[in-house]
Structure 1
Amino acid sequence: MEVSDASSRILAGLLETRTGQQLTISRRWRIETALKSILRERGIGTLDQLIATLVTGREPGLADEVVEALLNNETYFYRDRSPFDLLLNGALRRLERMRAAEKKLSIWCAGCSTGQEVYSLAMAFAEDKVRWRDWTIDIVGTDVSRSAIERARSGLYSQFEVQRGLPVLQMIRWFDEEEGQQWRIMPQIRDSVRFQHHSLVEPPPRPGRFDVILCRNVLLYFSAERRRTVFDKLAAASAPDAILMLGAGETVIGQTEAFVSDPSHRGLYMRREEVPAVEPRRVANG
């Protein structure tokens, strides 16, 4: 069952209007799979018939269902472990020194999907409680998918999802097993974070000025122009000395002037104006 070019264009326009994301080639090949359940539930025979119904606007909520189905909610605990180690054991120590007086950190996980990234950070802070005693650690996860945010708030994951990227000791320590090989993260961790439906093209969530921003494997779905706009928004939402973490295949090079590579922690990024100037080397006379 293939979708026509005209229907593909309609879907692409809908996705970009609602989320800012493009219907990339990697997403186009899975349109049929993504929308199959909607066809079945609504008794619609073909993808083109679904799009025709969508265009008429006679089916309330259909556009929301289609957008939700097309979004990529791929994520897992401690995804690409090395940048998490770089953040937690390296760059965060710099912020710890800079915030020693107020003892407050604000962290934004933008495009957090079903919440594993947020809970990964929360568990890391909880396991180093002596170091972070008396600190206020505010971690907020946002995503454009309402269904993903609801799952994140529930803290309920399958056996496969929990084992994917999460060491066994952490699984046993921070999760309770439920019926049907489901695992729910303990209230201590779940209550230490918050989740919010949010699009990156909107103003940032509160408090609006973050010390750490994770925006991983999201911007690759945006057009170059939209990506620059989002980078500007992330810069405006970050403290001057904030840390930015992107996905493994993402970079700021050629994408924005707002951020540059952190010279002390390669793989992380910081605001351009905060990068220390390199003094010119003096040359002795004669």
Structure 2
Amino acid sequence: MMGGGGGSDSAYRVLMAVLESRTGQTLSPSRIWRIEMSLKPVMQRHGIADLDALVAALVTSTSRQLLDDTVDAMLNNETFFYREHSVFDDIAATALDHLRTINAASRRITIWHCGVSTGQEAYSMAMLFAEQEARWAGWTIQIVGTDVSYHAISRARAGIYSQFEIQRGLPVQRMVRWFDQTGAGWLAKADLRRRVDFSVQNMLVDRPPLGGAADLIFCRNLLLYFAKPMREKAFARLRAAAAPQSFLVLGAGETVLGQTDQFVASPRLRGLYEPADQKVRRAA
């Protein structure tokens, strides 16, 4: 058996295939055992007894909601505010200075959070710009967050976080300044929420809803879940969305080495990446 006692091997294979076809993501052996546990709430909500019955329902049902709920439950939506704080410090101190110089004529910066999950990293960037309001006066700052999970995007748009989520990576001063405590949790202030646009998107299929090429792309710990062909396609999609002189932010355990020739390590910022062909484009 691939997993626990709630389903046959064929049920696990079908569910894994559904996840990959809908999102491009694959389940590593270490995550397969989580399928049944992750899907229990979905099965309870839809009155389904076990994984075999769920697969049968997916095959026969015309309910888009059941399919969305099933895929959503198998996704990993791990994120938190100012994840790897040193990365945000380097972006604030160096990357934005570079982009400010490069984009001085247009006075526009576009940031894409790909695989944004429940929105904490996008709101982290929004806080960074909001706290430098005078410096960016007259500039258009577009911050876009996309994710394949409709549930995660719904939560990101709402901007409501639990006590655990709000304390995870967020200094007290920022928590008090940018969030209000409510009965439902900590609510991002309207001024913060309006600075980020969230939408449900599959980055392997959909064009990101950007007003122009992205100057800064966050794609952290998402590509880990893609098989190599899908990962190569994902890097190509990221490059297609990136400005000639831009930065790509991956997770701490990720690299472009041996994965793609679309990006190279940034000579300016350790841990960030830049389009491999940007020197050619500069000379063009």
TM > 0.5? yes
Determine which of 100, 107, 110 is the counterpart of 2:111: 107
CA pair 60-190 structure 1, distance change in 2 beyond 3 A = closer
Report if the CA contact (8 A) 2:214-2:242 is conserved.
yes
Asked if 1:129 is matched to 2:133, the reply is yes
2:187 alignment partner in structure 1:
184
Post-superposition offset of 1:195? 0.6
2:101 matched to 1:97? yes
**TM-score, normalised by the number of residues in structure 2:** 0.93
**2:9, 2:267 → 1: CA distance?**
46
Q: Kindly name which structure, 1 or 2, has the bigger radius of gyration based on alpha carbons.
A: 1
Residues 226-237 of structure 1 mapped to structure 2, 5 A cutoff: 226-237=230-241
For residues 96-245 of structure 1, the aligned pairs below 5 Å read 96-180=100-184, 182-202=185-205, 203-245=207-249
116-125 or 208-217, which deviates more:
208-217
Q: Is the 8 A contact 1:53 1:59 kept in 2?
A: no
Matched, 1:44 2:48: yes
Give 1:78 deviation, angstroms. 0.7
State the percentage of identical aligned residues.
Answer: 50
Deviation at 1:248, TM superposition (A): 1.1
Deviates more, 1:43-52 or 1:72-81: 43-52
Question: Do 2:127 and 2:192's aligned partners in 1 also have CA atoms closer than 8 Å?
Answer: yes
Does the 8 Å contact 1:262/1:275 carry over to 2?
no
TM-score (norm 1): 0.92
Farther-moved stretch of structure 1 (44-53 vs 209-218): 44-53
The reply on whether 1:250 has 2:258 as its aligned counterpart is no
Give the residue type in structure 2 aligned to 1:62. Answer: L
Q: C-alpha distance in 2, partners of 1:194/1:26?
A: 34
SS of corresponding position for 2:116: coil
Number of residue pairs matched by the alignment: 275
CA deviation vs aligned residue, 1:182-220 (integer Å, no higher than 9, x gap): 110001110111111101112232225111111111011
Distance in 2 (alpha carbons) for counterparts of 1:38 and 1:9: 18
Stretches of structure 2 lacking an aligned partner (at least 5 in a row): none
Deviation by residue 1:137-186 (Cα, 9 ceiling, x = unmatched): 00000000011111111111111111111000000000011015x11000
